[in-house]
Amino acid sequence: MSQFFFTKMSGAGNDFIIFDKKSNPELNLNPQIITNICHRRFGIGADGVILIDDSNDYDFEMTYYNADGSTGSLCANGARCSLLYAKKTNRIGSNLARFKSNGIEYSGEIIDEEIVRFYLNSPEGLKTRFKIKAADQLITASFINTGSPHIVIKIADVLRDPKNPCSNTFSMDDFPVFELGKEIRYSKDFLPSGTNVNFIEISDDVIKIRSYERGVENETLACGTGSVAAAIISYINDKIQPPVKLIPKSGDLLVVDFKFDNNQIMDLSLTGPVKIIFNGDITI
């Protein structure tokens, strides 16, 4: 058994355990260890684990793991936390940074002490206003991959009673995010890897959003790539102009900005709060 040092961080309510390879050279993560330390009763508790390492070609390298130990997809709020951590550990000379996450190049910017902007790559796989079968009804949904796959659904398009077409009476507070999110996440339509699921309500050009995240297998207080997906979908379907303001379950403000030219989303970014919650050590 060995002692390892970590930093617990939050990006708009999305929380992560960050291990620095420099101070933990012997750390060897595997899915079981990650699942154990992310457990909110028997571990530190988090939506995911981030490993930060030095890089010869970039300011730093970030490896992201979901709470279930899976990896490979982008975590935008995790990237924003990593940017601030890299700044605090003197890996970033200026406020701009280039880094790799799970083998893909990204960049970001420290706006101020607790506001960080992350620049995403161009999204893929856009498909709008199609029907999916869930909760004993056909629900209008849209899809886009913003580094992770996301379904976006307006809560007004979900019926409380599938037999009553006028029962679209859910509010954001009483919407069954876990139940419906889980059903869609594991739908045969999205096999084998599944999808993240976001439920939105647009009011005065501000998007309220709640997200079910695969890999966490639960609702999270915020989802960065999900917020980006919701902003793009709302621009295309509902003409919500960038920069788009979103309020996740945490109540924090996230801002998604982009340009749309020749049917391409460009200069895509996610800006919002980041904070260090505490530092600690754990015996593994």
Rounded CA-CA distance 167/200 in Å is 17
Is 223 annotated in the active site? yes
- Per-residue pLDDT tens for 188-215? 999 999 999 999 999 999 999 999 999 9
Per-residue b/e over 167-182, b at no fewer than 16 CB within 10 Å? Answer: eeebebeebebeebbb
Handedness of CA 43, 45, 48, 50 (dihedral sign): negative
Q: Which of 38, 75, 81, 166 is catalytic?
A: 75
Q: Is the pLDDT of residue 217 over 90?
A: yes
Q: Which of 38, 81, 166, 223 is catalytic?
A: 223
pLDDT band for 165, please (50, 70, 90 cuts): very high
- Per-residue pLDDT tens for 83-102? 999 999 999 989 999 999 98
pLDDT at 216: 96
**Helix-helix angle 224-238:76-88, to 10 degrees:** 130
CB atoms closer than 10 angstroms to residue 154: 21
**Mean pLDDT of the 105-132 span:** 97
Domains of the chain from N-terminus onward: 3-121+275-283 (3.10.310.10), 124-267 (3.10.310.10)
pLDDT at 233: 98
72 torsion bin: left (phi>0), alpha (psi -120 to 50), beta (else): left
- Per-residue pLDDT tens for 12-32? 999 999 999 999 999 999 999
Is 81 annotated in the active site? no
73 torsion bin: left (phi>0), alpha (psi -120 to 50), beta (else): beta
Facing residues of 107 across strands?
A: 98, 119
Rounded CA-CA distance 89/85 in Å is 6
Within its chain, how far is the Cα of 252 from the centroid?
14
**Mean pLDDT of the 65-71 span:** 95
Enter the DSSP assignment of 221.
Answer: S
| HSE-up (13 A, CA, CB side) for residue 59 | 24
Start-to-end C-alpha separation, the chain: 5
Rounded CA-CA distance 89/109 in Å is 15
CB atoms closer than 10 angstroms to residue 63: 18
Facing residues of 112 across strands?
A: 115
- Per-residue pLDDT tens for 166-184? 999 999 999 999 999 999 9
